[in-house]
Structure 1
Amino acid sequence: MPHPPTCAQAGGTMAQTDVLLTKQPAPQTVPACELPPKLYDVARNTGAYTSSGLATAGFRTAKYLVDEWFQNCYAHYHQAFADRDQSERQRHESLQLAAETQTLAQRTQEDSTRKVGERLQDMHCWKSELQHEVDELVAETDRLLDQKQRLESSLDATAVPFSIATDNLQCRERRQHPDLVRDYVEMELLKEAELIRNIQELLKRTIMQAMNQIRMNLEQKETCEMDWSDKVEAYNIDETCGRYHNQSTEVQFYPHSTKLEESASTSETWAKFTQENLCRAERERLASVNLRGLIDCILRDIAEDLRLQCDAVNLAYGRRCEELEDTRFKLKQHLHKTLCEITDQEHNVAALKQAIRDKEMPLKVAQTRLYQRSHRPNVELCRDNAQFRLVSEVEELNMSLMALREKLLEAEQSLRNLEDTRMSLEKDIAVKTNSLFIDRQKCMTHRARYPTILQLAGYQ
C-alpha cells in the first residue's frame, strides 16, 4: 500500500500545480448548481459556435470544456491535499492524545493504587485496634468469670455458717429452765444469722450484676468481632485490588461498577462506626474492671465480717461456758455442804428421838409412883414433899418431852428443807451440765466446722 505523501512532497506537488496554473489561462467561475454557459448553449445547439451540419452530428454532444477539465483536476488536487493535511493533523493529535491519556491513565492508576494502599493501612490499624480490644475483652471476661466463680463459691460457703448458726439456736432451745434465757450468746447468734442472710442477698445481687456485665462484655466482643471480620474481608478484597495491574488476567469490564450504593458509608461514618465500637467496648471493659474491684472489696469485707462475728460468738460461748462452769462448781460445793448438813441433821433427828425415848422411862417411873401412891389408905393419902416432887418431876419430864418433840419437828422440817434444797441443787447442776453439754459439746464442736477466711472469700 503506497504511503501518503509527506509535507515536503505535498509542497512539491503544490509548486508544480502553481507552474501549470501560470501557463494555462485562468478558468471561469462556474456556479455550483448550473452548467457552463457554453456547454449550455451546446446542449441547446445554439450560440455563436453552433453548427447544424450533418457531418458533425456524431461529435457534437454535451461535453466539458478544457478549462472545466483543468478546474476539476485542480479541485481534486486541492481536495487530496486538504484531506492529507487534515489526516496528518489528526494523526499528530491522536498520537498526542494517546500519549496524554496513557500518562493520565498510568498516573490515575498509580494514585488509585496508592489510595488503596492507604486504605489498607487504615484498615490494618483499625483491625489491629479491634483485635487488641477483643483480646482485652476476652481476658477481662475470663477474669470476671473467675470473680463470678468466687462469688458463687462464697455464696456456697455461707451455707455452712448459716446452718451452724441456726443449728446452734435450735440446740440452745433444748436448754431447760432456768437456763433457757436470752443471753448474749443467743443475741450474737441472732446477729450472725441476720448477717449471713444479708451477705447472701448481697452476693446474689452481685452475681446477677456480674452476669449482666459478662453479657455486655460478650455483646461488645461480638460487635467488635463482626467489625473485625468485616474489615478482614474488606482488607482481603482491597489487598487483591491493590495487586491488580494492566497485565492481570482476571480483570474484566464492569460497566455499572461506578454506581455508588445508597447504603454505602462515608470515610467519616466508617471511622466513626469503628471508633464508637471501640469506645463502647472500652467503656464496658472499664466497667468490668471496676466491678471486679468491687467484688474483691465485697468478698474481703464479707470474709472479715463473718470471721469477726464468728469470733464474737465463740467469745460469747467461752464466757457463757465459764459462767456455767463456775456456777456448777459453786452449786456442787453447796450440794456437798447440804449433803453434809443433811447427814448431821439426820444424826440430830436420831439423837432427839433417842432423847425422847430416854425421857419416856423416867416419866413412866414418876407416873407409876404417883399412881401407886394414890392407892394409899385414908390419912396416908398425904400431900407430902415426895408427892409434890413427883408431881413436879412429871411436869418437868412432860415439858422436856414437849420441847424435845418440838425440836424434833423443827429438825425433821429442816431435814425436809435440806432434802428439797439437795434435789433443787442436783436438778440445777443437771441443768447446768446439760447447758454446758449443749454449748460446749454440741454448739462449739459444730462451730469448729466454720469455713476459713479464704473459703469465705471465694477461694477453693
Structure 2
Amino acid sequence: MPTRPMRFNVSHWHIANVESYRNVTAQQKLADRILAEADRLIDETEDDTIKRKLEVDHQLDVKIKDVEFRKEQLEWQKKQLDEELDCLITYMMRVEDAEKNLGHNSLDICRKCIVFREGRIGIDLCKDEVDVELEHEEKMIVAIQRMLIRVKEQVKEQMRRLRAMVYTIVKDLDDKSMSLAIDRMNLQLNEKSSGLCTNQGPVSFRTGSCNQEDWEAQTAAAIEHADKELASGRPLRAYIDVVLKQIIDDLWRQYDKVNSAFYRRIEQYKEQKTKLENHHYETVRLINEMTMKMTSLKKAIAEKEEFLALAQTRRGNRSQRTNSELCRDEAETYLEAESDQIQDAIAKLNKSMMEAQASLRYLLRTQVQIEEDINIKTNSIKIDEVDCMPLRAGIDYRAF
C-alpha cells in the first residue's frame, strides 16, 4: 500500500484560503500599478522621444547650414588660391622665357661678338670702348640670369606653399562634403524609414577627437592661412613685374651703349683707313717721282762722267807737250778747273743719288706698312660692321 499523504485540519484549510486570497489580491493590485505606470511611461517617453527627435533634427539642420557656410568659405578660398596659382604659373613662364632668351640668344650673341673681335690683328687688337661695353653687357646678362634663377626659386616655393594650402582645403572640403551627405541623409530619416537597425547589447560608436570649438578653429585657421599665402603671393607678382621691366630697360640701355660704341669705332676705323689710303696714294706718287728722279740722276751722272772723261783726256794729251810748251797756261788752268768742277758735280749727284735710293727704300717700306695697316683696318671694319653688327640685330629684349 502507498504511503498516505499528511492530513490537515480545518484551521489549516481556512488559513490556506485566506493566504491564497491575500496573495491574489496583492498580485492584482501590483498588476494595476504596473498597468498604470506603463500607461504613464508610454505617454511620457512618447512626448520626450518626439521632443528629442525634433531637437536632434534642429541641431542637424543647424550643423548642415554651418558646414555649408564653412564649405562655401573654403570653396571661395580655393578659387582664390587656384587663380593665384594660375597667375604664378604665367609669371613663372615669363621668367623662364626671359632666362631662356638671355641665355640662348643675347648672351650667345654677345660672346660671339667678343670672339669675333679677337680676330683683329696688329695694333687694332686693343682693349677699346667696344670691348669694355661688351664685357659689361656679358656680365650684366650673367648677373640677370642669376637673379632670374633666384626669382624662379621664390616663385616655385610660393607655388609649393599654395598647392599645399589647396591640398589642405580640398581635403577639408571632401570631409565636409561627406559630413553634409551623412547629416542630410540623417535629417531625412524618421522612425518609419526602412533599413533602420538596432544594435543589441552595448553599442560602441566612433567619437570625434575635437569639440565644436576646435572644429570651428580648424576651419578658421585654414582660411586665415590661405589669406596669408594669398597676401604673400600678390607682392611677389608685383616684384616680378618691376624686376622684368627694370631688366628690359637696363638691357636695352646697355644694348644702345654697345651699338653706339660699335658705330663710333667703325667710324674711327673708316676715318683712319681713308687717311691711310691718302697716305698710300701720296707715297706711291713719291715713289714714282723718286724712281724717275733716280733715272734722271743716273743720266746726269753718266753725262757728267763723259764730260769728265773729255776733260781728263784733254789734260792727258796736253801733258805730252815737251820743253817749254809744257807750261801751266790758261787753257791748262781752265781744264783743271773744269775737271775739278765736274768731279764735284758728280760727287754731289752721287750723294743725291744715295739719298734718293735711301728715301726710295724708306718709301717702299712705308708703302708696305701702309698697305698692312689698310688691311688691318679693313679686317677690323669687316669684323665690327659685317660680322658683329648684323649679329647684334638678332638681339630682342621684348617685354616678358
What TM-score, normalized by structure 2, do the two folds share?
Answer: 0.90
Matched residue, 2:349:
404
Following TM superposition, by how much is the alpha carbon of 1:344 offset from its aligned partner in structure 2, in angstroms? 2.1
Identity %: 29
Residue in 1 that maps onto 2:90: 146
Aligned ranges for residues 54-73 of structure 1 at < 5 Å? 62-63=9-10
Residue 33 (structure 1) aligns with: none
Describe how 1:53-452 pairs up with structure 2 within 5 A: 62-63=9-10, 80=25, 91-159=35-103, 160-254=105-199, 256-257=202-203, 261=207, 264-452=209-397
Summarize the Cα distance change of 1:205–1:78 in structure 2 as closer, same or farther, 3 Å threshold: closer
User: Contact 1:304/1:453 (CA < 8 Å) preserved in 2?
Assistant: no
Q: What is the SS of the residue equivalent to 1:346?
A: helix
Mapped partners of 1:77, 1:169: distance in 2:
129
Is 1:158–1:196's contact at 8 Å kept on the other side of the alignment?
A: yes
Q: Secondary structure at the match of 1:158?
A: helix
Q: Partners of 1:251 and 1:264 in 2: how far apart?
A: 27
Aligned counterparts of 2:18 and 2:360: Cα–Cα separation in 1: 178
How far is the alpha carbon of 1:239 from its aligned partner? Answer: 0.8
Change (3 A) 1:377 1:78: closer
How far residue 385 of structure 1 moved from its aligned partner, in angstroms, is: 0.8
Deviation, structure 1 residue 85: 6.7
User: What's the offset of the Cα at 1:335?
Assistant: 1.5
Q: Distance in 2 between matches of 1:442 and 1:260?
A: 80
Deviates more, 1:118-127 or 1:347-356: 347-356
AA in 2 matched with 1:186: D
For 1:197 and 1:260, the matched residues in 2 are separated by: 61
Separation in structure 1 between the aligned mates of residue 283 and residue 133 of structure 2, nearest angstrom: 37
The structure with the larger Rg is 1
Counterpart code for 1:170: V
1:404-455 Cα shifts (integer Å, max 9, x gaps): 111111122122222222211111111111000000000111111112423x
Tell me the amino acid that sits aligned with residue 95 of structure 2. Answer: L
Code of the aligned partner of 1:139:
E
Kept in 2, the 8 Å contact 1:140–1:288? The answer is yes
CA distance in 2, matches of 1:349, 1:161: 60
Deviation at 1:250, TM superposition (A): 2.0
RMSD: 2.5
1:63 is aligned with what amino acid? V
Show structure 2 runs of 5+ residues with no match: 1-7
Q: Is the 8 A contact 2:251 2:397 kept in 1?
A: no
Deviations 1:225-278 (A, max 9, x none): 1111111111111111111112112222246557563x6211111112222222
Counterpart Cα distance in 1 of 2:22 and 2:374 = 154
**Per-residue Cα deviation, 1:169-227 (whole angstroms, up to 9, x for no partner):** 11111101100110010000001111111111112222222222222222221111111
- TM-score, normalised to structure 1, is 0.79
CA distance in 1, matches of 2:210, 2:108: 62
Long gaps (5+) in structure 1 = 1-60
User: Which protein has greater RCO, CA pairs closer than 8 Å, 6+ apart?
Assistant: 2
| Contact 2:161–2:229 (8 Å) recurs in 1 | yes
Does the Cα contact within 8 Å between 2:130 and 2:262 map onto a contact in 1? yes
Amino acid at match of 2:96: E
Deviation at 1:368, TM superposition (A): 0.8
Whichever residue aligns with residue 378 of structure 2, its letter is T
Q: Which moved more, 1:90-99 or 1:280-289?
A: 90-99
* 1:94 shift after superposition: 3.9
Q: Tell me the distance in 2 between the aligned counterparts of 1:86 and 1:277.
A: 63
Give the whole-Å Cα distance in 2 for the aligned partners of 1:350 and 1:322: 42
Q: Cα distance, 1:103 vs. partner?
A: 1.6
Structure 2 Cα separation of the partners of residues 64 and 442 of structure 1: 148
Note the alpha carbon deviations across 1:365-401, whole angstroms, 9 max, x for none.
1111101000111211110011011101100111111
Give the distance between the partners of 2:22 and 2:377, measured in 1 at CA: 149
Q: Say which SS state the counterpart of residue 264 (structure 1) adopts.
A: coil
Greater shift, 139-148 or 109-118, is seen at: 139-148
Determine the C-alpha separation between the residues in 2 that align with 1:189 and 1:212: 35
Counterpart code for 2:10: K
For the structure 1 residues 330 and 120, does the alpha-carbon distance in structure 2 shift closer, same or farther, using more than 3 Å as the test? same
Number of residue pairs matched by the alignment: 389
What is the rounded CA distance, in whole Å, between the counterparts of 1:339 and 1:113 in structure 2? 117
Structure-1 residue corresponding to 2:3: none
Larger helix proportion of the pair: 2
Q: What is the rounded CA distance, in whole Å, between the counterparts of 1:77 and 1:354 in structure 2?
A: 186
